[in-house]
Every structure is written in structure tokens, then in C-alpha cells.
Copies of this chain bind each other. A is one copy, B any other.
Amino acid sequence: MTVPERPEVLGEARLSLWAPSGLGEVRPGDDLAALVGDLLAADAARSGDALAEGDVVVVTSKIVSKAEGRVVAAADREQAITDETVRVVATRERPGAPPLRIVENRLGLVMAAAGVDASNTPEGTVLLLPLDPDATARALRAAWRARFGLDRLAVLVTDTAGRTWRDGVTDVAIGSAGLRVLDDLRGGVDSHGRALTVTVTAVADELAAASELVRGKASGRAVAVVRGAGRFVLGGADGGPRARSLVRTGPDDLFREGTAEAYARGLADGRAGS
């Protein structure tokens, strides 16, 4: 893996994102590397903006899931959530609806409904998250490095997630290849020459969020290209760090259980005399 030079302090001062339209509906078994590759090639032919060294291609998890046939009947939604769940974090009853379940899923992601989603899917169906989005990002990157003759290229697979204590959703990276997903500034210096000791920026998630802005949720655009973040983009055939490495659960997780769940467990233990 070729690691780019440590960026100079000023870094990039311009970032451009665009989201080509025209992908069409993705179906189970489709070759996503070919389909999205064709879209990128057609867009480049139209705009003159060919994919270049240091670019990041962002694809939504939705089209990955569709290509993988990860569709189940909406009637089976609750069972699907259960099947995708590794650990329940918090639940809340909702009048007239199944309980809200915030869980850790197969991919280590803590999400409402395990990431099982009903938007932008055919009527009567829901979509599960991709089987292995880090592997998909690697496969797409390998295909496009070869097809477009590029070395330093990154690929992200994104999904939409809620946040504790913040309203609204943002996109995050659930698959990554060819990207320094975290920009670890520890060891660097700030503009006062003071050592930066704690700041580790979640570059992959910031790129995911930025790409959502240019794609939009209702547009059907599932692909975006980001140019100007090349200082985070890796060369070489190796895919580099996985998006999975952004997951922080386990002993360091101060919010491993919802407040109500943790309180109830304590109450039961207290009553049992432990």
C-alpha cells in the first residue's frame, strides 16, 4: 500500500462533489462494478470530468443491498430486524407500531431497526444492509482502479444513521477501501505549534455526510464523486483500513445499554441483594 505524503499543513482548500444521474434501478445479481463504472464513464464523457487520482467514489448501501438481493417482504420486517441483531441496546414501545429497537447489528453498527430500511425499495419490501460492505468497497475499488487506470482511488459505501442527542439523520461510512478513514492528528501540531493530542477526525463519515448533500434522499442518485480529499486517499492494491474500524463498542462504550435498560438491570440486582 502506498501511503501519500503527509499533507502539508494547509491541505486542500477546495472540495468538489458531484452526483451523476442515470443509474436506473439495480436488480439482484447485477454487476455493480460494471453498472456504476458505466455511469462514471458516461458522466465523464458528458462532463469532461474523468475520474482522477485521489478521487473518492461514494455509493449508497441501498444499491449494494439491491445487487445482493438483500430484499425481504415487509411483512417479515420484525423478524428480519431480529435476524440482523447481535445485541439489543435499547427499546421503546410505540403506540400502534412495533417497538423501536436500537441494536448492534452484524456489522457492529448500532442503529435503529438494525439498519433494515423501507425507503427507496419496491412496495411491500424492505432492504437489509449489505452482507460485507468493506469487502464490496474493496471489490469496486479493484475493478475501477483497473478500468480507469488509476492508483490512488477510494471507494465508500454509505448508510443513513440517527445520532444520540441530535435530531435528524446523517450518512456514515459502512464500507471503505483506499481511504484513511480516520485522520489521526495526534503527533501533529496546531496553528500555535502546540501538539494536537486528542483530535482524530472521522474522515470517512465526513465524506459520507458530504456526499449525501449532493445526492439527496429523494433523487434516486446513488453515486457521488468527491474530488479534493486526495490527501486521505491511498494507492496500491491493498484496500487499507476498513469502515468497520470506525465502530466503537465494547468496554470503552459508556452507552452500551439504554438508560431504562441499565436502570432496570440495576434495580433487579439491587432487589436480589447482589
Contacts and interface: CB of A to CB of B under 8 A. Distances in A.
B13 A16 contact: no
Interface string A188-199: 111110101111
Given A18-B14, A253-B165, A255-B259, A203 B213 contact: yes
A182 interface: yes
B167 A248 contact: yes
A233 to B, nearest CB: 12
A266 B210 CA distance: 41
Quickly give the copy total for this chain.
2
A13 B18 contact: yes
B172 A166 contact: yes
Contact of A119 (B182, B194, B268, B269): B194
A164 B164 contact: yes
Nearest to A204: B168
A254 B196 contact: no
Nearest to A165: B110
A218 B9 contact: yes
Nearest to A232: B213
Interface residues of A, number: 97
Contacts of A147: none
Interface stretch (A75-83, A120-128, A133-141): A120-128
A120 B190 contact: yes
Contact of A213 (B206, B214, B220): B206
Nearest to A17: B15
Interface in A4-18: 7, 9-18
A207 B171 CA distance: 12
Interface in A143-201: 160, 163-172, 181-183, 185, 188-192, 194, 196-201
B256 A259 contact: yes
A270 interface: yes
Interface of A: 7, 9-21, 90, 92, 102, 104, 109-110, 118-123, 160, 163-172, 181-183, 185, 188-192, 194, 196-203, 205-207, 209-210, 212-214, 216-221, 228-229, 245-249, 253-273
14 contacts: A11-B219, A15-B213, A121-B194, A165-B248, A168-B182, A169-B199, A170-B206, A171-B206, A206-B213, A209-B210, A256-B259, A264-B266, A267-B267, A270-B270
